[in-house]
Amino acid sequence: MNDSLRGRRVVVVGGGSGIGLAVAARAAGEGAAVVIASRSAGQRHDALVAAIGRDIEAVALDVTSAAQTDAALEEVGGFDHLALCTRPEIAPAPFAETDAEQAKKAFETKFWGPYRLIQKAHRNIAPGGSIVLTTGIAGERIFPNHSTMAVINCATEALCRALAVELAPVRVNAVSPGFVAPKPPAVDAVAQRFPLGRVAAPEEVAAAYVHLMKSPYATGTTLVVDGGARLA
């Protein structure tokens, strides 16, 4: 039973900011050797080290590029745990007004890019290792103007369950965050109705990723960390 990250190698895709950066910092704090892979990671190594407080590896990776994915995996080599924390750029909008091309780009960033990466990366994962995907509360509780994210999140959760079966004994799980700071004042006002009455800090959500990495009998699971948003 391995319940420690000490001496393990953790790759965080999309680890340059937000939840991904918090996951990288949490894993590093628990003794892992951390690799941050993101579009700008290679250019921001010193800034990332300063943000985390420990040395890390930094690799340039745009998951929407098959060529960059191949090059990054070649550079990284073997590892123990993979966290996928990519975030699409898509503004909330009514379904009838959503730009289909923007929706496709969001799918590329959060679903298809990670899908292709996992197809190749799972061979690099050491025995006892795992993959943690990122979904979101919009897949479980429908919010107006978030139809694209609802569909992407539902697809990601289905992929999590399918890969837990197909890639075994590699463990595959997902984290479903609610609203995470910083958020506009309007979202903060909505969050006051949640049982915990606020949005989450990235560090609070990051704890769930590390928990799943360290849980040797958890696979095919989506761990919701939303402050009770789905109940409000």
pLDDT tens sequence for the chain (232 residues): 456 899 999 999 999 999 999 999 999 999 999 999 999 998 999 999 999 999 999 999 999 999 999 999 999 999 999 999 999 989 899 999 999 999 999 999 999 999 999 999 999 999 999 999 999 999 888 888 999 999 999 999 999 999 999 999 999 999 999 999 998 888 888 899 999 999 999 999 999 999 999 999 999 999 999 999 999 8
**pLDDT confidence of residue 198:** 95
CB 20 within 8 A of CB 48: no
For the record, the structure tokens of 204 come out as: 């609070």
Measuring CA to CA, which residue among 122, 134, 129 is closest to residue 32?
A: 129
* Torsion angle (degrees, nearest 10) of CA 146, 183, 207, 70: 60
Q: Which amino acid is at 2?
A: N
Q: How large is the greatest C-alpha to C-alpha distance in the chain, in angstroms? A: 50
pLDDT of residue 2: 52
User: To the nearest whole percent, how much of the chain has pLDDT over 90?
Assistant: 89
* Distance, CA of 137 to CA of 20 (rounded, Å): 17
Q: Which domains does the chain have, with CATH numbers?
A: 9-227 (3.40.50.720)
Q: Which H or E run includes 54?
A: none
| pTM, full prediction | 0.95
- Short-list 27, 32, 25, CA closest to 50: 25
- For position 113, what pLDDT does the model report? 98
Q: pLDDT tens digit string along 209-223?
A: 999 999 999 999 999
Going by the DSSP 8-state scheme, the letter that residue 199 receives in this structure is: P
In one-letter notation, the amino acid at residue 152 is I
